[in-house]
Structure 1
Amino acid sequence: MTPYVLTVDADVRDLRAADRLLHTLAAELALPEGVFGCTHLVRGERPRVALSLALPSEPLLRTAQERLTAGGRGVSPGAPDAVGRAVLYPGVSTLTGTLTVADVLSRSAIDRVTVLGTPGGPAPDTPLVTREHVRPQWQHDELVLTAMPAIGGTLVPFEVPDPTPCCADH
């Protein structure tokens, strides 16, 4: 990952809102495709979701920091932690429909795919139904997508695009 990283503390409380904000900020700042935008859960007295942007150059970092600060956003250097959940990353826009694990790895910045409940990784020709929602996480300097088995020998990303809120039927 690049050393040009900043954290945006926008006082967002849920992942879906954080995802939307990352996309909005990327558009407002006209960020290039190679940018990493991650969410980070912040615990403690004020639980929230912080955002990090890893940018390809120091001038772009300075420009983003100046514009975000001018827009009233809380900005600090570095990432809040080393285990961010990637929303923006190289190749994310190509991860649509059903792809093989090999396609996911070759088309994107994802380094590895793991499957819940299995000791090894999936075969390269295993189909992955992306649901257009692929959120890998940083683990030991690798971008790792956790998947789970689905119908017909396919995999799906562990994180679902539209989770049902707790107690939705009450």
Structure 2
Amino acid sequence: MTPPHALTVDAGTRDLRAADHLLHALADELPLPGDVFGCTHLVRGDHPHAAVSLARPAGPLPRTVRERLTARGYDVTPGLPDAAGRAVLYPGAASLAGTLTVAELIARSAIDAVTVLGTPERPAPHTRLVTRDHVRPQWRDGRLVLAAVPAAGGALVPFEVPDPTPCCADH
């Protein structure tokens, strides 16, 4: 997706979990229309961190959004930091709880496709997907795609787990 109306918000968040929380807080506090996409982006360089973006393909974001973000001290710039954002807020995201078929997931949300890691074929529309109430698709070539992995009983689960164990947690 290359939306004509997008803002990057850099709050210096350290990781994706903090960026997810920031996006949810912004959705609760700002007048965001229902067709807004809120994504996380990894920023590399001397100080690696996660930035977030807010984009609305159908029209501009409300003027007050940028003003309120800037007033909070966030670094706000026009456009997206990259084309491969990881979507946290997107149309239909709230309806993706529990177990759904792949066809239901696509029909209920802005997700365009589901891929299964390690296989070249797309899953059948009737394949069950256990969402774990944590569905984070990514933009790939202008399409919102959810990466999934096989699970018990022929079902799928999103590749990204809701509560990952931090690297080196057992050290």
TM-score, with normalisation over the residues of structure 1? 0.96
Q: Does 2:115 align with 1:101?
A: no
Partner SS, residue 146 of structure 2: strand
Query: Take 1:145 and 1:105, find their aligned partners in 2: how far apart are those partners?
Result: 10
Counterpart amino acid of 2:150? Answer: P
1:127 maps to what in 2? 128
Q: Does 2:52 align with 1:51?
A: yes
Describe the superposition over 1:77-117 as per-residue Cα deviations: whole angstroms up to 9, x where unpaired.
00000000000000000000000000000000000000001
Query: Take 2:139 and 2:14, find their aligned partners in 1: how far apart are those partners?
Result: 21
Counterpart amino acid of 2:168? Answer: C
Unaligned runs of 5+ in 2: none
Partner SS, residue 28 of structure 2: helix
Number of equivalent positions: 169
1:69 maps to what in 2? 70
Q: 1:44 to 1:95 in 2, by over 3 A?
A: same
Describe the superposition over 1:103-162 as per-residue Cα deviations: whole angstroms up to 9, x where unpaired.
000000000000001001000000000000000000000000000000000000000000
Query: Take 2:128 and 2:60, find their aligned partners in 1: how far apart are those partners?
Result: 39
1:142 maps to what in 2? 143
For structure 1, which segment, 26-35 or 78-87, has the greater mean C-alpha deviation from structure 2 after superposition?
26-35
Query: What is the identity percentage for the equivalent residue pairs of Structure 1 and Structure 2?
Result: 69
Give the superposition deviation at 1:166: 1.4
Alignment of 1:146-161 (within 5 A): 146-161=147-162
Give the superposition deviation at 1:59: 5.5
After TM superposition, the runs of 4+ consecutive aligned structure 1 residues lying more than 3 A away are none
Query: Take 1:50 and 1:73, find their aligned partners in 2: how far apart are those partners?
Result: 10
State whether residues 9 and 77 of structure 2, in contact with CA within 8 Å, keep that contact through their aligned partners in structure 1. yes
Counterpart amino acid of 1:115? Answer: V
Counterpart amino acid of 2:105? Answer: V
1:84 maps to what in 2? 85
1:38 maps to what in 2? 39
State whether residues 55 and 61 of structure 2, in contact with CA within 8 Å, keep that contact through their aligned partners in structure 1. no
Query: Take 2:23 and 2:146, find their aligned partners in 1: how far apart are those partners?
Result: 19
2:25 maps to what in 1? 24
TM-score, with normalisation over the residues of structure 2? 0.96
Q: CA RMSD in A?
A: 1.0
Unaligned runs of 5+ in 1: none
Counterpart amino acid of 2:137? Answer: P
Q: 1:100 to 1:44 in 2, by over 3 A?
A: same
Counterpart amino acid of 1:23? Answer: H
Give the superposition deviation at 1:165: 0.9
Describe the superposition over 1:47-86 as per-residue Cα deviations: whole angstroms up to 9, x where unpaired.
01010000343261x3211111111111000000000000
